[in-house]
Amino acid sequence: MYTISQLFIYPVKSLGGIEITGAQLTDRGFQFDRRWMLVDVNNQFLTQREHPEMCLLQTAIQDNELIVYHKNNPADNIQIPLQPLPGVATIKVQVWDDECSAQLVSEAADAWFSAKLSIPCRLVYMPDSEKRKVDPEYASENDITSFSDGYPLLIIGQASMDDLNSRLAEPLSINRFRPNIVFSGGNAFDEDTMEHVRINSINLYGVKLCARCTITTINQATAERAKEPLKALAAYRMKNSKIYFGQNILHKQTGALKVGDAIEIISKKVPFAFIPSAQ
């Protein structure tokens, strides 16, 4: 039996996430997940790939505000309304190959983030009117996402994380992989074969294994880089020069998910045939 063991949201793309006990699944993913994003002077999105110190900026939601604070100084924080103020300007921003409309949050937010990251940047919000499409190769016309890398949800099995940690000298936290849903039960990498699952009355579909980038090598507590876990994963989770861990999923209904919910397997697919590395 598979059961949801952890749920996470990441309100600001590439900043620290929030572990939650229950989540509201909206048309574009979990409520508040990646609805905000930092962009540079060219309106290109910023991530930990180029700015690992972004992981030190933590997030919390209290009442009607998003609070962002520095991990090493929680008193140094900024409060951001969960709903943008009326009349704010809208600009075009870039997320990979997608151009999206986004609302500027405030000059105060821009100044705070620019100071913390030591680079000029602006905080933007994705309004409900923006319908960013998921890659049509894997999705239908109606599937949308927020400022995620490309898909509304990512699922990982705890058994997969345990298997990886058994191969490492020092175990890592699952926060390296930024999942939305973590489940217990089953065997390592069972998520690879999840083609159609149901949680409560919500149908979810595994459409593409998640190719991992260098963000996984960043210690989320210190912003330091290392070789793991990509070095270990390359030995047994690489195909076509890409390393995979976790599965991107789409959903066809909205509703509530919570820790402890059962995951019902409706259908499975043939898993990737990974070829062990000779190293």
Q: What is the pLDDT of residues 166-214, one digit of tens each?
A: 999 999 999 999 999 999 999 999 999 999 999 999 999 999 999 999 9
In the predicted model, what is the mean pLDDT of residues 261-279?
85
Q: pLDDT grade, residue 277 (50/70/90)?
A: low
Is a pLDDT exceeding 70 seen at residue 221? Answer: yes
**170 SS3 class:** coil
Average pLDDT, the chain: 96
Confidence label for 84 from pLDDT (cuts 50, 70 and 90)? confident
pLDDT per position as a tens digit, 19-65: 999 999 999 999 999 999 999 999 999 999 999 999 999 999 999 99
Among candidate residues 266, 262, 232, 261, the one with its CA nearest the CA of residue 160? 232
Q: pLDDT band for position 15 (50/70/90)?
A: very high
Contact predicate 237/246, CB 8 Å: no
Q: Which amino acid is at 162?
A: D
Percent of the chain whose pLDDT exceeds 70: 99
Tell me the per-residue pLDDT of 144-164, one tens digit each, with 9 for 90 and over: 999 999 999 999 999 999 999
User: In this predicted structure, what is the pLDDT of residue 152?
Assistant: 98
- Model pLDDT, residue 1: 93
Tell me which residue of 4, 52, 50 sits closest to 181, measured CA to CA: 4
User: According to the model, what pLDDT value does residue 279 have?
Assistant: 47
Instruction: Report residue 149 as tokens.
Output: 């890398």
Percent of the chain whose pLDDT exceeds 90: 94
What dihedral do alpha carbons 222, 228, 230, 234 form, nearest 10°? 180
Domain ranges within the chain, ordered by starting residue: 30-131, 135-267
- Nearest residue to 197 via CA among 249, 259, 151, 260: 249
